[in-house]
Each structure stands twice: as C-alpha cells, then as structure tokens.
Amino acid sequence: MNYLIEEQQQLTDLEPMFARLHETSGVVAVDTEFLREKTYNAKLCLVQLGVEQHQYCIDVLAIPDLSSLAQLFADEKILKLFHAARQDMEVIYQTLNVLPKPIFDTQLASAFCGGDMQQGYGAMVLERTGIELAKTQSRTDWTRRPLSADQIEYAGDDVAHLHELYIQTHAQLEQSGRSDWYLEELETYYDVDKYSIDPATAYQRLSGGNLKIKQQYLLKALAEWRETVAQKRDIPRSWVMRDDKLFDLVMQQPKTEEAVKELGVFGRKSVTYMAPQALQVMKNVETSDERVWRQVDPLTKNEKKLCSSMMAELASISERLGIAQGLLGTRKDLESLYRHRQSKKLLNGWRGEHVGNVLLDFLLEKQA
C-alpha cells in the first residue's frame, strides 16, 4: 500500500513503527525526490520509506518538524536500503543535517558482483524481478503541489522492490567473497565532507595547470568568492558566473567596472553589483612562487597509446575479479597514475593490491 504523509500528525503516527524498527534492528527502504536546478543545494521534496509491504511518501515541503525522520536516519540499529545512495545521502544530509547510517546500496553491491556500475533502479528491478516500472513521472517537478496519484504511485514504486533487490545482491555479495571490499568502499559514503563544499576548496573543481602563476591565484580566489556568493544566495554557482566566464575574467584581468561589463561575464542586471565585488577580489589576491595547480602537458601520441593499453589491462582485471570496470577506475585515474606514479584512489585499500600495483607492474613491463 502507498500512503502520502503530508501532515505533521501523520508523521507522528509513524513514530511507533520507527520504534519497532529500532527494537528489532529492522530494515527500511529509502529513496528521495528532489530538484536542483534553481538552488545551490538540491531541494528535498519527498522522502519515500518502504517497510514490509507498505510505502510511505513523506512530503517534506508540507511538514515543518522532520526531527523524527532525522532520528530514523541516524538510528544505527536500523539498516537503510538505497539504490545509488550518494545523491540521496547528499540531499538528506544537506536538509536534515544527518547522514543515514548504516546503509546498504544495491547498485554498489551489484557492481562488486560484476553488475553495471551505472545500472538504474528500474533496470535492475526489471532484470531481477521481471517487473517493469512506469517512467511517466521521471521528469516531474516535485516542488509543485498538490501531488497527483500518479506521482505518489511512481514515488512509492521506487522503494517497493528495494528489499527484494537487497536480498538478492546481499546474497551475491556474500557468495563472491567481496563483502570486505564492499564495506571498505561503503565507508567513503559516510564522509560528510563529500556532501558539502568549503568555498576555500572550490578551486579544486577547476583545471588551472596551464595558467601562469598569478592567473592561478586569481582563479583560486574568484572560485572561492563565487562559491560563497552562490551559497549565501542559494543559487547554482553557474548563475553567479559560468566556468568559462571565470577563465575569461582571469585571462583578461579587467581593471574597471566598464571593462568587466564589456567582457560579458555577468548578466545585464547582476553586473552592476557583481563587477565591483569581483574587481575587489582580484585586487586583494596575494600570490607566491608555489603553483596552485601542477602544469599538465598534453599526452603524446605514444603516451595516449600506452594509457589505452592500461585501459585494456583494467578491463582484464575487471573480468578476472568479476567486478564492474567502472568501480575499479576511470581513464582519468589511469592517466593520473601514468603521469605521477601515484593515486590516492588506485593505490589504497583493496584497489592498491588488486588494481593499482598491478597497473604499475604493467607499466614497468611496457616501458622496459
């Protein structure tokens, strides 16, 4: 049964069920619906809970006190089931200031057993249960009210089959002998730093290795300023200034508001108050001889060929281990390993022994 929970008392009425889940170390399936087009953080609109044969669609926009829901997510005696958990955990953390723990991610578990790292919930439900879910509401605006019966049915379906997927993928994971690797990977999901951005680190999203040193420091400072403005105004950072426009500002280094206006890096209305701020940021930048980004030269033809060989070797490792290739590493990871012979991702934990060191040995053989 699908239930829409849109009043405070209705959520209060669920609290005895939450208490039973705590007492029995129970399991709850979780999904969310959100919108991220117009705000800095995604706007949480609906939380779906699946308990046994019932689905509860909680309208978080209509209910002022969500503390009991936050307590449910924080309760470490209750296992929370997700499919592709990261975005759901991000929006839950940013809205309720709590990270669901412990969790089980059916997509991640399946990937450790050779499944597609990007397989969606509907595709997995169809593959494993033969049930085809409706897709009619996949692009709906979840901020609009009232919610329709079709929307509630669609949202409820997103948790209705999660427990069955959990049973199947958990059993596969146990049989594969990869449970320890899976749990190690899952620990990274509990790092709160992954779900919030410190403006001081915003520059790390950008690539400034080919800029001059002063330009690098200008880019770093402007990226921090842009992130701060976006957070304070709760708008997407691109609404403050797009990445390409950020680089235009750094390359041209205008000295006056009129020069900034001529560059067209801001909108017609925002330029009047954004231009003075940006100019002040650029004026106050302090530099040093130390580069912010390492200079990255393009790979030569032979180097690209070697990295392609590394990708082929990664595919072989994936096949030998029976683990999705996308979980092992990306082309970018391999190129970084090739350039620096270092990688926080590929040379640590379970990947270190079974992926990173194998690829380094492969490189040595190729370059011998």
The CATH number of the domain holding residue 267 is 1.10.150.80
- Residue 308, domain extent: 301-367
Q: Quick check: is 290 in a domain?
A: no
Q: Look at residues 195, 225, 248 and tell me which one is the last residue of a structural domain.
A: 195
Closest CA to 309 of 245, 352, 365, 249: 365
Q: Quick check: is 41 in a domain?
A: yes
One domain for residues 206 and 153: no
CB atoms within 10 A of CB 288: 8
Alpha carbon 190 to chain centroid, angstroms = 12
One domain for residues 53 and 190: yes
Cα torsion through 90, 94, 95, 99, rounded to 10: 60
pLDDT in tens, the chain (368 residues): 899 999 999 999 999 999 999 999 999 999 999 998 899 999 999 999 999 999 999 999 999 999 999 999 999 999 999 999 999 999 999 999 999 999 999 999 999 999 999 999 999 999 999 999 987 776 789 999 999 999 999 999 999 999 999 999 999 999 999 999 999 999 999 999 999 999 999 999 999 999 999 999 999 999 999 999 999 999 999 999 999 999 999 999 999 999 999 999 999 899 999 999 999 999 999 999 999 998 888 999 999 999 999 999 999 999 999 999 999 999 999 999 999 999 999 999 999 999 999 999 999 998 86
One domain for residues 204 and 191: no
Task: Please state the domain count of the chain.
Answer: 3
**Using alpha carbons only, how large is the chain's radius of gyration in Å?**
24
One domain for residues 87 and 149: yes
One domain for residues 103 and 156: yes
DSSP code per residue over 38-90:
SSSS-EEEEEEEEETTEEEEEETTT-S--HHHHHHHH-TTSEEEESSHHHHHH
CATH of the domain at 100: 3.30.420.10
Q: Quick check: is 80 in a domain?
A: yes
Q: Quick check: is 293 in a domain?
A: no
One domain for residues 65 and 89: yes
One domain for residues 346 and 232: no
The beta strand positions in the chain, using DSSP E, are 2-5, 27-35, 43-51, 54-59, 79-82, 103-105
